[in-house]
Amino acid sequence: MKTLGIIFSNIHERDIPELTKVRTLASVPFGGRYRLIDFVLSGMVNSGITNVGIITKYNYQSLMDHVQSGKNWDLSRKNGGLTILPPFSDEAGGGVFNSRFEAIKSVASYIRHNDADYVVMADCDIVCNLDFAPALVEHAKNEADITMFYREKDVSKTDRERLIVETDKTGRVVKTCRIEGAKGVHKVYTDFMIINRRLLLYILDHSVQWGISSFSRDILCNTKEYKIYGYKLDGYCVAVNSLADYYKHSMELLDADVVRELFYKGGAGIYTKVRDSVPAKFTDTARVTNSMIADGCLIEGEVTDSIIFRGCHIAKGAKVTKSIIMQDSVVDSGATLNCVIMDKDAHVLDGRMLSGHPTHPYYIEKEGTI
């Protein structure tokens, strides 16, 4: 079955303003060498989806530098492959898109000129190793119009406004509602969906006439008009809703079971941009415990329970604990870091002592010096 993948790169940027000030959410670094988009993009490729469009809005230079032609995901192709969809101004709407529905509407011509049977739409805020193929089979088997991906979780721990999905015994969605006021474990929509391409184009063509401006409010809640089914996501699957969530889920990568579940599930890997660099170097003064150290690093100090991205330098006498140090950052001699997130190319000078908390990590902006 022919499938088109659509990835939204900017939808949830307001949730993490610190990390998305100079980049899209899709290109936020994660796990030592990856970007958030790598997970959903790799999932699509591993599922046999070889035609993928990435919708952008602003600050997408780092995203373009990361994905480039898509060759690291085997998407550099003569037919299909990876397409960056820049923001198109909606003259009738008065500017660039402000919602997921407006974003899709702005690239309707791209969807129209594709011969896919189905469209898989996904955000970049979910970290998981997802195989879309079984869901596509279920979608076709159910003769569904739309399939909504959900995960079962305690909604009291969900900050972002999401939809709760209620299904009957056949898996068909009978009701969707907002998460406000709900308690306990529910089926929470992840903003991943499969929709029939012809139906999507029909909705887009009649959206003004019917007053449709939102997927969640005008389409997904209309369970009588559309044949909507749910699809449960199993295994490790988390949402990056805030800086605290980013820190928490990054630290979870220090658990070997999480790494196996996320990066090696079913033999399907997570792909990213290849950066040729020398192996990490550890001097005789280095002390490293339960940490993830990427290539190209020079470690001379102490690193404990931390994630160190490519090309970082932890000087002799420095102590880094429970922290995330992004690419090409430097921690000078005598500095002490605890629960700190250092963005790319940041620099902590000699003798500085910085400490945050797991729920409120101390953040140093890109190219910042303290």
Establish if 84 belongs to a structural domain: yes
Residue 74: the pLDDT is 93
| Predicted local distance difference test score (pLDDT) of residue 128 | 93
pLDDT (0 to 100) of residue 90 = 52
Q: What is the pLDDT of residue 89?
A: 54
Interatomic CA distance for residues 292 and 305, integer angstroms: 8
> For the segment 92-146, what is each residue's pLDDT rounded down to a tens digit?
544 556 678 888 988 999 999 999 999 999 999 999 999 999 999 999 999 999 9
Taking the C-alpha atoms of residue 70 and residue 365, their distance in angstroms, rounded to an integer, is 28
Long-range pairs for 254-257 at CB < 8 Å and ≥24 separation? 254/290, 254/291, 254/292, 254/305, 254/307
3-class SS of residue 3? strand
What CATH number is given to the structural domain containing 289? 2.160.10.10
33 and 165 together in one domain? yes
Average pLDDT, the chain: 91
**What is the rounded distance in angstroms from the CA atom of residue 172 to the CA atom of residue 142?**
9
pLDDT at 255: 96
> What are the pLDDT tens digits along the chain (370 aa)?
899 999 999 877 778 899 999 899 999 999 999 999 999 999 999 999 999 999 998 888 999 999 999 999 999 988 889 999 987 655 554 455 667 888 898 899 999 999 999 999 999 999 999 999 999 999 999 999 999 999 988 877 665 667 889 999 999 999 988 766 677 888 999 999 999 999 999 999 998 888 888 888 889 888 899 999 999 998 899 999 899 999 999 999 999 999 999 998 877 889 999 888 899 999 999 999 999 999 999 999 999 999 999 999 999 999 999 999 999 999 999 999 999 999 999 999 999 999 999 999 999 999 999 9
Q: Are 135 and 147 in contact (CB under 8 A)?
A: yes
Residue after which a domain boundary falls, among 267, 295, 325: 267
Per-residue pLDDT tens over the stretch 272-298: 998 888 999 999 999 999 999 999 999
Edge-to-edge strand ranges of the sheet holding 330-331: 281-282, 298-299, 313-314, 330-331, 347-348
Query: 74 in a domain, yes or no?
Result: yes
Fill in the amino acid letter for 138: E
Q: Which residue stretches of 211-342 are H helix?
A: 215-218, 243-251, 256-263
- Are 246 and 298 in the same domain? no
Residues 259 and 309 reside in one and the same domain = no
Alpha carbons 149 and 135: distance in angstroms, whole number? 9
Let me know if residue 272 belongs to a domain.
Answer: no
Q: Are residues 143 and 207 located together in one domain of the fold? A: yes
Asked if 308 and 347 sit in the same domain, the reply is yes
Distance CA 271, CA 285 (A): 33
Query: Do 84 and 169 lie in a common domain?
Result: yes
* Gap between the Cα atoms of 226 and 295, Å rounded: 49
pLDDT for 39 equals 96
Question: Are residue 111 and residue 157 in the same domain, yes or no?
Answer: yes
Domain containing 87 — which CATH number?
A: 3.90.550.10
pLDDT for the residue 80:
86
Q: How many domains does the chain have?
A: 2
Which structural domain, as residue segments, surrounds residue 124?
3-267
Chain centre to alpha carbon of residue 176: 23
Which residues fall within 8 angstroms of residue 94, CB to CB, at 6 or more apart?
Answer: none
Residues 41 and 74 in one domain: yes
Q: What is the pLDDT of residue 282?
A: 98
Q: How far apart are CA 261 and CA 235, in angstroms?
A: 7
3-class state of residue 244 by DSSP? helix
Kindly state whether residues 257 and 299 are assigned to the same domain: no
pLDDT at 102: 87
End of a domain among 267, 302, 325?
A: 267
Q: Are residues 238 and 206 in the same domain?
A: yes
CB 123 within 8 A of CB 12: yes
Asked whether residue 312 is assigned to any structural domain, the reply reads yes
The two most distant CA atoms of the chain are separated, in Å, by 71
Q: Which two tokens stand for residue 136?
A: 């596509």
